[in-house]
Amino acid sequence: MSEEPPTPSLKELDAKLKAARDHRHANDLKNSGSETGANNGLALALKIGVEFVSAVGVGVGIGLLLDYWLETKPWLMVVFFLLGSAAGFLNIFRTMSGYGYAAGYSAKSADEKPDRKGNE
Amino acid sequence: MAAEGGHSPLEQFVIKRIVPVDIGGVDVSFTNSALFMCIAVVVASTFLVLGMRRSAIVPGRWQVAVELSYEFIANLLKDTVGQEGRRYFPIIFTLFMFVLLGNLLGMVPYSFTFTSHIAVTFAMAFAIFIGVTVLGFVRHGMHFFTFFAPPGTPVVMLPLLVPIEIISYLSRPISLSVRLFANMLAGHTLIKVIAGFIAVLGVAGVLPLALVVALTGLEILIAFLQAYVFAILTCLYINDAIHLH
């Protein structure tokens, strides 16, 4: 009889584990903002640089290919350079304003994600 | 001193042929890069299979490590994609372990970091990109194209916005691969450069030595971080392909 409490059944253990995990998860959510402070600065800078440059690179690449194909040197390259820059800024905007890395404004799914605050 | 031995900080990235193979004029030699990929696969398999060999209810240390890595990716998928994401667990877990072990094996002296080559990371990122695009078409058919037109856009703006969205979409594999490759390349080169100062500076070389120790720690952190980023971005792309807007 007295041995009941120290040897709980697996179900009870499971319930306890689940409660503990939920508690930890909730704490993680609370702390996730402050935790990633100074360490994230460099990573963020690199991330944004890559996001921007890759979009410009893709734009210029498409422009050059179309120019080569349609023999309209250098005009399409210029047009797509501008479009690529716009796409780069769009990427940065999405990264920063919590839409994630996605194309489109997937703020719906951003609501579920705790670490990025949807701008809705 | 460092210079006369001909040790460039970039020498560690040189690809060497171990078993030269030539099929129809195409060089498909077994290189040190391929060797370390094989090692990564063997280490990952050993870690997982032997760790779960006993699969006890009360796990040992090794089993806890295996279960932690499993739960980490499972939670990642649950948080980003939701319940539907479960079926993509194998690919995400494989990618994560492969990239992570590639990064970590690169931290072993005299080893080779295959994730520091854009050819490797871009191949992975491009495969993910193609896979996710195909997934989007399979799930949504032609409806997938609405992905490139944000909801609520005026029709007048569409000719301008759609190319921008498409460029933004096409830039994904590039930013995904460049991020991993640049981090590994920069970190490993930096360690080698700083380490080159140690012998040159003599007694004062203690300072760069301390810095190299700190940087090594940082590099191990980055190895984990970049594998995590690679995995979470793949999850987000899958989420986009499944849910569109």
Count of the separate structural domains present in chain B: 1
What letter represents residue B225's amino acid? Answer: L
Taking CB atoms and an 8 Å cutoff, what residues of chain B touch A84? 167, 171
Provide the 3-class DSSP secondary structure of residue B31: strand
Could you identify the residue written with the tokens 């012998």?
A: B199
Give residues with Cβ within 8 angstroms of B106, minimum separation 6.
B36, B112, B113, B114, B115, B116, B184, B188, B223
Backbone angles phi, psi at A106, to 5 degrees: -85, 55
Residue B187 lies in a domain: yes
Asked whether the predicted pLDDT for residue A43 surpasses 80, the reply is: no
Is there a domain that residue B85 lies in? yes
Three-state SS at B30: strand
Chain B contacts of A102, Cβ < 8 Å? Answer: 236-237, 239-240
Determine the pLDDT at residue A32: 47
pLDDT of residue A107: 46
A42 lies in a domain? no
- Strand partners of residue A99: none
**Does the residue B2 lie in any domain?**
no
Domain region containing B164? 11-243
CB contact under 8 A, B172 and A80: no
Nearest to B231 by CA among B85, B113, B130, B93: B93
Start-end of H helices in chain B:
32-51, 61-80, 89-105, 118-140, 158-201, 206-243
Q: How many domains, chain A?
A: 1
pLDDT digits (tens, 9 = 90+) for B155-199: 888 888 888 889 988 998 998 999 899 889 988 999 989 988 888
A66 domain residue, yes or no = yes
Dihedral pair phi/psi, residue B181, rounded to 5°:
-65, -45
Residues in chain B: 245
Residue A76 lies inside a defined structural domain of this protein: yes
Reply yes or no on whether the pLDDT at A29 is more than 60: no
What is residue A30's predicted lDDT score, i.e. its pLDDT?
52
Q: What is the DSSP letter of A72?
A: -
Extract the tokens encoding B64: 């806890």
| Beta carbons of A102 and B175 less than 8 Å apart | no
Confidence at residue A106, expressed as pLDDT on a 0 to 100 scale? 46
**Does residue A111 sit within a domain?**
no
Low-confidence ranges of chain B (pLDDT < 50): 1-5
What value does the mean pLDDT take over residues A26-37? 50
> Per CB distance under 8 Å, which residues of A are interface residues toward B?
10, 43, 46-47, 50-51, 53-55, 57-59, 62, 80, 83-84, 86-88, 90-91, 100-106, 108-109, 112-114
Chain A positions in Cβ-Cβ contact with residue B57 (cut-off 8 Å): 10
Amino acid identity, position B94: T
Q: Are B128 and B121 in contact (CB under 8 A)?
A: no
| pTM (predicted TM-score) | 0.78
> Containing domain of residue A100, as a range?
10-34+50-106
- Residue whose tokens read 């870690």: B47
Q: How confident is the model at residue A28 (pLDDT cuts 50, 70, 90)?
A: low
In a domain, B3, yes or no: no
User: In chain A, whose CA is at the least distance from the CA of B242?
Assistant: A109
**How far is it, in rounded angstroms, from Cα B172 to Cα B178?**
10
Mean pLDDT of chain A: 71
Contact B86, B94 (CB under 8 A): no
